[in-house]
Amino acid sequence: MKQFLLFIMICFTWINTYGQSDFGSVKFKAIAPLNTAPVPKETKPSNTDAPLIKAPDLFKKPDVVLPSGSKYKIGETKSFSMEQTNNFANPGDRVKEKMTKDLDKTLIKEGLREDDRLLVKIDKNFGEIRTKSKYFVVKYRDFVYIDGDLIKATINGQMIGDIKELYSSYGQFIFDLKEGFNTFEMEAYSKGTSGGNTCEFKIYDDKGVLVRSEFWDNWDKGVKGKFVIVKE
């Protein structure tokens, strides 16, 4: 009986030893866990177009209207040109224009510039001159802008010399006086290129004494200035 038990124990020990050495020599590979995350559904991009927007072109003036049908893009390709252009909007232009208008008004107001909008169209009577002089000398000039103003002078209906052109320096003409009343007229024979006729004139007697100094400003063509000269 003892021998039988000893045999069983030896057999058990041998099986256990053999199993450990067998399993010890086998290498096990770990199995990766299953991917149980839900698979996203494949979606197709929609065919909706992007908003119809076009960025402003920095090389154009602000008042250019962008076409509504353009898609978003920056500028446009242009062909190369050697021609010099200036398409930038200058904010100082408006100020410059206003200053120029204000200056023009001031010059016109002070009689330093002519203006067709303010033309004098009515003849003027300069009044009466009494003298003992045998003749008068009239000196004349354009006191504003030399632009081709012409004048015509008459004494008692007779033309004195030729048609006179006004310059910045004085020109002159001389006419005799008869006893009693004499009618002396000076006419704006033309307008200049920049506006009405502008004339300054001075009347001297036969002794060189200044008798009268007058001027007219911005007269229309054909307007006359009249003096009645009484020779005593």
Number of neighbouring beta carbons within 10 Å of residue 221: 15
Split at pLDDT 50, 70, 90, the class of 138 is: very high
Q: Where are the domains of the chain?
A: 120-231
Check residue 194 and give its pLDDT. 83
Which residues, listed in sequence order, are joined to residue 124 by a DSSP beta bridge?
A: 225
Nearest to 140 by CA among 173, 111, 185: 173
Per-residue pLDDT, averaged over 96-103, amounts to: 60
Which residues, listed in sequence order, are joined to residue 141 by a DSSP beta bridge?
A: 200
Check residue 3 and give its pLDDT. 61
- Tens of pLDDT, residue by residue over 152-176, are 999 999 999 999 999 999 999 999 9
Percent of residues, the chain, with pLDDT higher than 70: 50
Which residue's structure tokens are 């107001």? 109
Per-residue pLDDT, averaged over 196-218, amounts to: 96
Whether the CB-CB separation of 122 and 220 falls below 8 Å is answered with: no
Identify which has the larger pLDDT, 62 or 140.
140
- Tens of pLDDT, residue by residue over 37-62, are 666 666 666 665 556 666 666 666 55
Statement: the pTM of the whole predicted model exceeds 0.85 = no
In angstroms, the Cα distances linking 100 to 105, 143, 185, 205 are: 9, 22, 37, 44
Local structure of residue 116 (DSSP, 8 states)? G
Calpha distance 231→178 (Å, rounded)? 7
In angstroms, the Cα distances linking 179 to 58, 120, 232 are: 81, 33, 7
Calpha distance 144→191 (Å, rounded)? 13
Strand order in the sheet with 210-219: 171-176, 135-141, 197-204, 210-219
What are 144's two structure tokens? 């504003």
Architecture of domain 120-231: Sandwich (2.60)
Whether the CB-CB separation of 72 and 53 falls below 8 Å is answered with: yes
